Structure 1
Amino acid sequence: MNKLIPPSHNSPHYSCQILLSLVLLSLHMLTPLEAYGSKVEQLPGFQGPLPFELETGYVGLGEANDDMQVFYYFVKSESNPQKDPLMLWLSGGPGCSSFSALFYQIGPVAFEIKEYDGSMPGLVSRPQSWTKLCSIIFVDLPLGTGFSYAKNVTDHRSDWKLVHQTHQFLRKWLIEHPEFLSNEFYIGGDSYSGIPVPAILQEISNGNEKGHQPLINLQGYLLGNPITTYREENYQIQYAHGMGLISDELYASLQRNCKGEYIDVDSGNELCLRDLQYFHECLSAINEFNILDSNCEDDEHLWRRSLTQELNESLSSRLTVPELSCKIYGYYLATKWISNESVRKALHIREGTIGKWERCYMNDFEYDIFGSFEFHANLSKKGYRSLIYSGDQDAVVPFISTQAWIRNLNYSIVDDWRPWFVKDQVGGYTRTYSNRMTFATVKGSGHTAPEYTPEQCFPMFTRWISNLPL
């Protein structure tokens, strides 16, 4: 029997599972600090009642009430929340709030891009929200991210602690929301989440096998432009050459002098270092997150540098006002919006827990997972579904680097390379493997593909989550 198939709603096993969860719920003594979700009735800046159900709340992870408190935004599926899949979304960084995904990428609202005049920034509906057919938990992890807080944040910030925190958060959240126990469950994320998400799935799967309660109906995962091997930078040279960003001569010289290694370069290899300096000069005025987009420096671009050098100050504190035409102007509006007292009250933020809100808080983080390839291999053996998608204009995690580690999983192809379409136009290219992994490029899109091309990513997600070919 396939252990990934959820029990029938009429089966004794299912009835016992629900009963056990209700017992766990009754035994879980809630103190005022541990009171869970609250419905958000209105959002300042949005005209009229919300056309979707939004809940925010905290889940306590520590022994003491105020030790570790994880904040989340939960949006119910706008279609059939009783039967539609449930997904937890973890934004990258590490330390970027999933507010980013909710307001910029896959959630039901977005900022109205108008020049800030000191009044409340406006919000509008996003027609391509993934919540049209999926309930999504947008979680602020690791601790210290967004509105999540702890007595000593520094003690709780590492890759493995993030894995354990997410797993613990999820099981406690499901105890408080037993109506979602039978729903198919997925985890999604992008960018740096390519490191922790596969490890989180493995830990959840192992917990299910050990009988940890409540049982999570884990089905699979999806990742966009995910960091996976920490060798992604070695593919930037090939990508930049293929996209016409460097000359044939420089490409040939880099290959000859660096011999395919562009990360751990011998300090005595002056020819390679010289070529690399020239390479970086060629790309210095390019937005590497989307080479087609304007080059507007912000915290995302500073994050790019933080992969190779230590930053001692908050990235968000260095964010200046971008041009209105820049994609990142919405990030600026977000800091103005969420700093407003009426917004925090509407979101049920606990007073005094977070002062200045930062979209990405990346200090004090310990990197102790040095690649997620082995987790993908283990999850493949267990038969979980996965969608790995790449905006093809991203030079930070180039699609060719993602293709390389997928090939190294060494699974046969069951649906070979072909275009996938949106309204009779090519949305990208896709290939599916025998481990139930689908790879897809998103044509003309950047590092966080749903943010750049929602009209393509929404049908891509819709088809995949519905078990349909792209």
Structure 2
Amino acid sequence: MWLSVVVLVHVLLLSNSVESQSIIDTLPGFPGKLPFKLETGYIGVGELDEVQLFYYFIESERNPKHDPLVLWLTGGPGCSALSGLLFEIGWIILSPFTFDYANSSGRNKPTLELNPYSWTKIANIIFLDAPVGTGFSYATTWEAYNSNDTSSTTQTYEFLRKWLMTHSKFLVNPLYIAGDSYSGITIPIIVQEVSNGNEIGHLPPLNLKGFVIGNPLTHEIWDINARLKFAHRTALISDRLYQSTKRNCQGRYINPDPNNTQCVEDLREVNECVANIYIGQILEPNCAIESPKPNKLWSLSPHLDDNFIDTLHSTPDQVLEPWCRYYNYLYSYIWANDKSVQKALHIREGTIADWTRCNRSLAYTDNVITSIDYHQNLTKKDLRALIYSGDHDLTIPYTGTLEWIELLDLSIKDDWRPWFVDGQIAGYVTIYTEEKYSLTFTTIKGGGHTAPEYKPKECLAMIDRWFAYYFL
């Protein structure tokens, strides 16, 4: 009885933070009513709710009452949740719709079509624009726009508690924190906060079961250094150059000693070999409008130059050759900045100047060097983890991910073996355990950064089986 009263009081207090919450029945570009339940809204977090985080929530198309509840965070930092909804690039295919490119060209408004491999077919998903300044999220003071890894994770945890207070029917659903790319830094911290909060009695108690991260960043230097080994394994550099670079640079490939002339020369040769490789998926064309970067292999971001959108806007009806995946993303700028779309989504007028898929001017400080220590702490918890990597991703290669997983010193329950979709190998899986903790690592064959944009069918099969405790 006492607990019920406390929960009711918290609901009354926290519900004031949800200043808008709307059910969306139709969207510009989609014919008729949406065949799934879409809700959008803002929740205020931080001191005086000065940070207003925008979210999209889609109920599972299968069984909302029993299917998992997933909080999804796109990477970046600063990449909008809408990117996950519409593409899942660098970052997985969770969307219930994708752009119908065949019927959308130039300045015409893009049209939408259903995505048969949406993760919302088997899970309830909250797509969150975080940190502040991402997507449609905004702050009411200039100071509140300044954020970092630790403040952002605290705000995300606060958001989740407040959201569940106003959606209490999902409190019993298994909860998973999920995301990709840069979210590999923040998700383990959020999971740690949720776990600690449950232990000390924060309300409401969250039914945390685990976390999912695709192509995860865990340590910038570690992950970028792993590109040399990946480039060698995929025949982008020769055996001779690989061995020479290892020997002369002694593992220091980022900002090497300028007096180490042999290392500098080796790295120059390495960069010459990969200069025209699209590091997001090494088999796809490299965008012609991307400026050459002399140290491309040792730069974290695969993003294009700032003139990318201007270039595409200036020639919207021309076919750019060769085709590059980034060209598709122009449609999201056209659609999300359309006033009728923003009205349909119930975006607060005047809160942002322009929607951008990934906000590169974010006032954000990456103050957590590595999340590996958090992963180590989580191995002592009763949790499940799924880590997956597109095996053609040079941005954050699977080679580095496997190396930090090995550092956790877990027991191997099921060693490297293939798993299948439609009778074909979809990837290779290893399952690790430590008492009540389990970690599943898998590659997605042919996937890039991140995997579901490239292999949506295989990734849906992966997450569906893993949620069902059957893998793979």
> Does the pair score TM above 0.5?
yes
**Residue pair 1:140, 1:148 contacting (<8 A) in 2 also:** yes
1:249 counterpart = 2:240: yes
SS in 1 for 2:388: strand
Task: Give the SS at the match of 1:381.
Answer: coil
What are the superposed Cα offsets for residues 56-96 of structure 1, whole Å, 9 maximum, x if unpaired? 0000114436x210000001111111111100000111111
| Cα distance in 1 between the residues matched to 2:242 and 2:431 | 31
Q: Does 1:42 align with 2:26?
A: yes
| Corresponding position: 1:233 with 2:233 | no
User: Are 2:360 and 1:357 aligned?
Assistant: no
- Give the superposition deviation at 1:45: 0.5
SS at match of 2:428: strand
Shift of 1:18: 6.2
Q: Structure 1 residue aligned with 2:11, among 6, 25, 34?
A: 25
Cα distance in 2 for partners of 1:422, 1:96 equals 30
**1:133 aligned to 2:116?**
no
The 3-state SS of whatever aligns with 2:350 is coil
* Equivalent position of 1:469 in the other structure: 471
Question: Are residue 161 (structure 1) and residue 151 (structure 2) matched?
Answer: yes
Which residue of 279, 283, 286 maps to 2:277?
Answer: 286
Shift, 1:294, TM fit: 1.6
C-alpha distance in 2, partners of 1:106/1:300? 31
Residue identity matched to 2:69: L
Mark the CA change 1:297 to 1:376 in structure 2 (over 3 Å): closer, same or farther.
farther
CA deviation vs aligned residue, 1:139-179 (integer Å, no higher than 9, x gap): 00110110000121664321111111101110111111111
The equivalent residue for 2:95 is: 107
State the Cα distance separating 1:368 from its structure 2 match. Answer: 0.5
Alignment correspondent of 1:3: none
Residues 262-298 of structure 1: per-residue CA shift (max 9 Å, x gap)? 1242121111111111111111111001001121268
Residue of structure 2 in register with 1:5 after alignment = none
Contact 1:88 1:137 in 2 (8 A): yes
- 1:323 is aligned, of 320, 323, 340, to 320
Partner of 1:9: none
Task: Give the counterpart of 1:340 among 338, 341, 362.
Answer: 338
Q: Distance in 2 between matches of 1:439 and 1:291?
A: 21
SS at match of 2:212: strand
Q: Which of 54, 68, 75 does residue 71 from structure 1 map onto?
A: 54
Aligned to 2:391: 392
State how far apart, in whole Å, the 1-side matches of 2:428 and 2:6 are: 45
* Identical pairs, percent: 45
Residue 296 of structure 2 corresponds to residue 296 of structure 1: no
Indicate if the aligned counterparts of 1:225 and 1:390 stay in contact, CA closer than 8 A. yes
Matched residues in 1 for 2:261 and 2:375: separation? 37
Match of 2:441? 439
The reply to whether residue 118 of structure 1 matches residue 86 of structure 2 is: no
CA distance in 1, matches of 2:289, 2:5: 50
The residue aligned with 1:58 is 42
**Partner amino acid, structure 2, of 1:329:** Y
Asked whether the equivalents of residues 393 and 444 of structure 1 are also in contact (C-alpha less than 8 Å), the reply is yes
| Amino acid corresponding to residue 100 of structure 2 in structure 1 | E
Worse-matched range after superposition: 131-140 or 357-366: 357-366
Q: Which letter maps to 1:69? A: Q
- Give the structure 1 partner of residue 90 of structure 2: none
Which runs of no fewer than 5 residues in structure 2 stay unpaired? 88-92, 313-318
CA 1:194–1:310 in 2, change beyond 3 Å: closer, same or farther? Answer: closer
**How does 1:66-215 map onto structure 2 within 5 Å?**
67-104=50-87, 105-114=93-102, 116-150=105-139, 151-152=141-142, 155-215=145-205
> How much has 1:237 moved relative to structure 2?
1.2
- When residues 335 and 297 of structure 1 are mapped into structure 2, their CA distance, relative to the original with a 3 A threshold, is farther
Aligned residues of 1:314 and 1:362 also touching (Cα < 8 A): no
> What is the CA distance between 1:259 and its match in structure 2?
1.9
Report the AA paired with residue 31 of structure 2.
Q
TM-score, normalised via structure 2 length: 0.90
* Secondary structure of 1:161's aligned partner: helix
For residues 464 and 388 of structure 2, the distance between their equivalents in structure 1, rounded to whole angstroms, comes to 13
Report the more deviating stretch, 324-333 or 350-359. Answer: 324-333
Q: TM-score, normalised by structure 1?
A: 0.90
- Native 8 Å contact 1:299 1:316 kept in 2: no
The separation in 2 between residues aligned to 1:406 and 1:152, in whole angstroms, is: 39
Match of 1:458 among 453, 457, 460: 460
Query: Structure 2 counterpart of 1:77, which letter?
Result: S
Deviation at 1:317, TM superposition (A): 5.8
Contact conserved, 1:22 with 1:178, CA < 8 A, in 2?
A: no
Q: Deviations over 1:402-434 (max 9, x none)?
A: 000101100110011110000100000001011
Alignment partner of 1:30: what SS? helix
Q: Please list the CA deviations of residues 186-217 of structure 1 after superposition, one character each: whole Å capped at 9, or x if unmatched.
A: 01111111001101100111111111111111
Answer whether contact 2:271 2:296 (CA < 8 A) is retained: no
> Whole-Å Cα distance in 2 between the matches of residues 62 and 180 of structure 1?
23
Q: Distance in 1 between matches of 2:107 and 2:74?
A: 29
| Distance change in 2, residues 1:61/1:445 (3 Å) | same
Shift of 1:447: 1.1
Query: Which runs of 5 or more structure 1 residues have no equivalent in the other structure?
Result: 1-14
- Supply the distance in 1 between the matched residues of 2:75 and 2:290 (Cα, whole angstroms): 13
The alignment covers a number of residue pairs equal to 451
Deviation at 1:361, TM superposition (A): 1.1
Please tell me whether the aligned partners of residues 132 and 145 of structure 2 are also in contact (alpha carbons under 8 angstroms).
no
Alpha carbons 2:254, 2:298 under 8 Å: kept: no
